[in-house]
Structure 1
């Protein structure tokens, strides 16, 4: 028995909608295989072969990030903006108090910040998926973190980095003094991993 023409049209319509939704989800998802590409401003994020440590060289080929801004975690009435740190090397760390690897790397990040801040380095945290603000604030205090963080439970701040894999937490982005992306780490870091990369950018700028 052949299906009625109306049923066929409805089936084709549903199939087209499902295909469209799958396409949108595929574009929005984080690639775990081959090359992942994302754009933000003129910055193009590329992870060749799924690498978790990506370096962008030479400097002339680096992409600049757009403005990143949001509400301060510790001072709710204050806005924190990337442009507040003009002319500085900036280390952006994406973290959450719920994230065990974030807790593990917190001391390492603070040590590198203390060791490099006098040479023109600024750290900036972006706190994501922490819908209990108090828990995130307690994490900062207990970890002895002294650099600012943007409170961004929904991850809206990172939309400026179009397509950046926001589901990878923790991750760290290194910006040179022109706020071009010099390196991306899609994994937890030790101070021995991070400090040489930061010092390289400081020396490069000099």
Structure 2
């Protein structure tokens, strides 16, 4: 019994196969393009704190600055209201980590308010982060020291987890963000107005 001859190839089937292959290649190229955009660069450029080897004041050159995460938490004086760094668009933001139980925090409170009063008209905002406190104690501290800038009430320190590597036991400490909300300076100690104000004014004056 003789073998049956092979069936001839169908030109239409070949063409359809080539079209499908071309569409698949286009889809793959599009997917690759989506995965290599600016978002990946921004994520890699987020601030990571590195132990300064005993330094208590760290300044960052403009070219070396990294973006701060959008620190967020509940307002101390307005329960239920959320405050975040991005609320202060195009402003220098001075973040102060404090607690009523911390003697250097009590000593520097009026100094920080003085710097805020002297610089707020230059586009400078202050934001406190209150740790390990009861709300009533923290509210009394703010009122007794006549602090006019807002604070986040964060007894557990959860808001600081977004700052990679930042020591949550560094109280008081102060972080200065430039107008693009990149970390420009870190102080791991209590401050006098004379320590902080020149740095804030310098960063506020950057073009």
Whole-angstrom distance in 1 between the partners of 2:189 and 2:172: 6
1:51 matched residue in structure 2: 55
* CA displacement, residues 137-174 of structure 1 (integer Å, 9 cap, x when unaligned): 00000000000000000000000002201101000000
Whole-angstrom distance in 2 between the partners of 1:140 and 1:41: 35
Residue in structure 1 matching 2:170, options 142, 163, 168: 168
* CA displacement, residues 65-118 of structure 1 (integer Å, 9 cap, x when unaligned): 111111000000211111100100000000001111000000000000000000
1:127 matched residue in structure 2: 130
Contact 1:40 1:66 in 2 (8 A): no
SS at match of 1:167: coil
**Shift in Å, 1:42:** 1.5
Superposed CA RMSD: 1.4
Larger Rg: 2
Structure 1 spans left out of the alignment, 5+ residues: 1-38
The worse-fitting range, judged by mean Cα deviation, of 186-195 and 162-171 is 162-171
Whole-angstrom distance in 1 between the partners of 2:202 and 2:138: 31
Count of residues in correspondence between the two structures: 165
* CA displacement, residues 28-85 of structure 1 (integer Å, 9 cap, x when unaligned): xxxxxxxxxxx9962122343220100011x121000111111000000211111100
Q: Which has the higher strand share?
A: 1
TM-score by length of 2: 0.77
Contact 2:48 2:165 in 1 (8 A): no
Counterpart check, 1:110 vs 2:132: no
Map residues 3-14 of structure 1 onto 2, 5 A cutoff.
none
Structure 2 spans left out of the alignment, 5+ residues: 1-42
Contact 2:50 2:165 in 1 (8 A): no
Q: Cα distance 1:72–1:45, how it changes in 2: closer, same or farther (>3 A)? A: same
